[in-house]
A and B are shown apart, each in its own frame.
Chain A
């Protein structure tokens, strides 16, 4: 690291232009519904932008390779975390006979909203008030 890398202005300008372009892509893609890929594309664009900043503006590309290793390791651990967590959330309830439970979490949240409230023993409870409860008992 004794020699200091001097980046030509041209490179900085190209990277700045790419970042602006990618910001445009982020805005544009938010109007396109890609279904479950929405988040993937948004994260991908953001990762590319962050990497450009780290590599060129923060000189990671010309720096000690150990620093680059650290950077790549952090990406790797992030990948491990997301991938293995998805092994849970994408396959949850896979042994359950109720097909609704197989859906991903955000759909299931809506599904749970349609269900009547129950207490911890599975008995239905009324969320509004006690007198409602009494009415039910009369019926």
Chain B
């Protein structure tokens, strides 16, 4: 028995090739995690370069051209190389089979292939950086993207390739959820993180092909001048925006839905209370995934699209608020009268509730056509989507990382440092992005390397706090890695937070190479704190 516990997926089998050719979902998840965090730091570094440039008006740090490259690469790397693959690829891969009691995902070889396709696509993105960058913005809008002499083709080709990795991961997860659940684990007994990954996967396989088509059309337009986006040949540049946002708006939900799933796991566990409104949260995930397909035109209110479609898009956009509100209220009601403990994962989850609510509500502002005409392409939009993407997704990702770190590596990080960093991230984030709402309301346009004197105060304030934010995230991640190097081990059978899902109750930390020593038998639901007592092993 002790021999078996010593053997885990990290140390068995050994050797570099056993990692590079592994079919183990946990190892593939770790490879995603490491590459995702590297790209996150690269994208973060680019963000800090931008903030340095914007600390004062004028071009004292970098030139206009460099600035255009920096913001394009920041956006493209963060979205296509980190946020979209990171949570499903890393946490999803590591946890999904464990949560459904399976030995692995449905198609382990396809899973490894997804990782290599992702890496291959990432090489194109890296080539773009070495070869002088790309300056169109991460959205690659025509007509500029068909004319720009920068590396539009390598970058879009990279995104095209990474899209396939996304589709294959989605397909794999859907098949896993349908076919690999242990007996008795019915749909309504699944952890909500699994529901979230399922919703995400549906969006991935239905929306991502459109991104591929868009990128191919853009490349064909550049090389062959097929004219689909060129009015002189009977095309329409706004059509590009329809294509692009038909993928990229659902992609916003590819980014945020897994974060919702993480929060739905963290809050009941750290409040020791049954989740409030399980079915509502599960179905709101699916309805967000569906409504997400009907609202893409709200990115295009100033593009010259017809007033009729603006009204339709604006109207449908408000509907997104309903399932999202259902989730937020369910989480708050879960905490109500629970035993809330302020552990690092819970601090991140609480930050998430605050930040995502601001991000979501400002989204309602921007969904109103009349207001959006004024706020479009200002810092208000920049602040809004950072509150959703960073305040929402990345904060939830950090929370999830802290929550499952003892499970993944069998080690516990320094709690005090982790808590200080969580507070630092919260303060740094608000300090960086709240002033940007004010800047946007006062008319500061996005994507400019300089600005007029009146904006100095808010911009320098934002730059100062971005430093705090950057340092906090860096120390938080280093704290995690340090615990791994220092081998501050937890007992392999331990369940530090007293969680109820299979990955905590039925396997060791770190898990066995084949996940479970014997097929787990389901004894209770994922959040049955009202029925069963599960002890916390970490006080």
What residues make up the interface of A, taking CB atoms closer than 8 Å to B?
66, 70, 73-74, 77, 80-81, 84-85, 87-95, 105-106, 108-110, 112-113
Contact = CB atoms under 8 A, between A and B. Distances in A.
A66 B171 CA distance: 13
Given A94-B308, A95-B307, A109 B231 contact: yes
Contact of B236 (A81, A89, A93, A94): A89
Residue of A73, A90, A91 with highest tally of chain B CB at under 10 A: A91
Contacts of A80: 293-294
Contacts of B293: 77, 80
B23 interface: no
Interface stretch (B154-162, B238-246, B359-367, B429-437): B238-246
B338 to A, nearest CB: 38
B234 interface: yes
B312 A108 contact: no
Contacts of A93: 306
B294 A88 contact: no
Contacts of A90: 306
A74 B209 CA distance: 10
Contact of B232 (A77, A92, A109): A109
Contacts of A95: 307
Given A90-B306, A92-B305, A81 B234 contact: no
A88 B242 contact: yes
13 contacts: A70-B205, A73-B206, A77-B293, A84-B294, A84-B309, A85-B242, A88-B305, A89-B239, A90-B306, A92-B305, A94-B308, A112-B231, A112-B232
A95 B293 CA distance: 27
Contacts of B238: 88
A92 B296 CA distance: 17
A28 B309 CA distance: 36
Contact of A91 (B210, B236, B294, B307): B307
A73 B306 CA distance: 27
B392 interface: no
A48 to B, nearest CB: 21
B304 A84 contact: no
A87 B312 contact: yes
Contacts of B207: 77
A81 B207 CA distance: 11
B297 interface: yes
Contacts of B1: none
